[in-house]
A and B are shown apart, each in its own frame.
Chain A
Amino acid sequence: MDNVIRGVVIYFLVLIVFRLAGRRTISQTTPFDLALVLLISEAAQPGLTGEDRSIVGSAITICTLIACDVAMSFVKLRVPIVGKWLDGVPLAVVRDGKPNEESMRRSRVDEEDILAAARDKRGIGSMGEIEHAVLESDGQISVIPRKGKSATA
């Protein structure tokens, strides 16, 4: 019982904290971010299992976390607005060749991030060659080049 409650509470705590941290923070994975994820998992571990070091206790916790995730996926499917709130919605940061300053500032995305995605995915080297750029709900930046510009990806 205790392990299930702990698992549910920690699941939603992590869900809320990561959602509040924002997409960009998660998408721009640097070596430090990986270290941060490890540190967060270490910090969450005592809250998840307490002093229970048994295999059964661990199994209950794992099943609880997976059950929460499966339940949330059903909820998101049945109630799309929940999915939008939890996963976010795509956001145009460049539309018709014009950067959207408000969207970029609030999402903490700068031109360098867009150019990095453009170079990486499309082989584009300048903002002038970008028609649209979209910050996807998974934190990736999709780039659509201006017509006539070749796409290499």
Chain B
Amino acid sequence: MSAPLELDQDMSLQRRMWLVQRVGWIIGGLFLIAALAGALGEGVISHKKEQAGNATLEYERVARRETPTPVRIEGKPADETFEVEVDRKIADAIDAWIPDPRETVVGPETVTARFDAFAAGAGVTMRLKHPHAGSTNAGVRVGPNRFEFKQFVLP
């Protein structure tokens, strides 16, 4: 017969810990499912494609801070210039244009990028890289067509 085991064991606390652990696993699983579905950016839930006239705007409704996210803009150029105008408030988030615009005009309210129609082809990509988390609402004009761009940026 050996000595009894002196152990600071609290089974009720241990059972609560196991319960919390299981709940944590479920939350982790839901987090992964949300990520796969695109609720955290880049996926079926997040993807949005809008059409106005002969122009389309394609982007993710959910983006992540400091992570590049493309906004695909398509339209039919009126002449030799393909013009995209976006509200000035998202100018800070514009990381790049693909292809490079022929010229960019920064006004008090808007930023206008003009592309050679041949280089732009059927459309251009505006790559955004948001410096801050939160909701972003901005107008995007493609020729005569105007879109309301709404994107939520996760931290």
Chain A residues, Cβ within 8 Å of B25: 20
B5 and A84 form a contact (CB under 8 A): no
Please encode chain A, from 81 to 101, with 1 for each CB lying within 8 Å of some chain B CB and 0 for all others.
Answer: 000110011111001100000
Which single member of B2, B7, B13, B21 contacts A92 (CB below 8 Å)?
B7
> Does A106 reach chain B (CB closer than 8 Å)?
yes
Interface residues of A in 42-61 (CB under 8 A from B): 50-51
B109 at the interface (CB under 8 A from A): no
**Distance in angstroms between the alpha carbons of A90 and B9 in the assembled complex:** 6
Q: How far is the CA of A85 from the CA of B17 in the complex (A)?
A: 7
Chain A interface, >50% SS class: mixed
Which residues of A are in contact with B by a Cβ distance under 8 Å?
A: 16-17, 19-20, 22, 50-51, 84-85, 88-92, 95-96, 103, 106, 131-132, 134, 144, 146-147
* Cβ A89 vs Cβ B8 within 8 A: yes
Give the interface centre of B10, B14, B20, B28 by most chain A CB atoms within 10 Å.
B14
**A132-B5 contact, Cβ under 8 Å, with A20-B25, A20-B28, A88-B17:** yes
User: Nearest Cβ in chain B — how far from A146, in angstroms?
Assistant: 6
Q: How far is the CA of A92 from the CA of B14 in the complex (A)?
A: 11
B1 at interface, CB cutoff 8 A: yes
In the complex, chain A residues whose CB is within 8 Å of the CB of B53: none
**B66 contacts the other chain (Cβ, under 8 Å)?**
yes
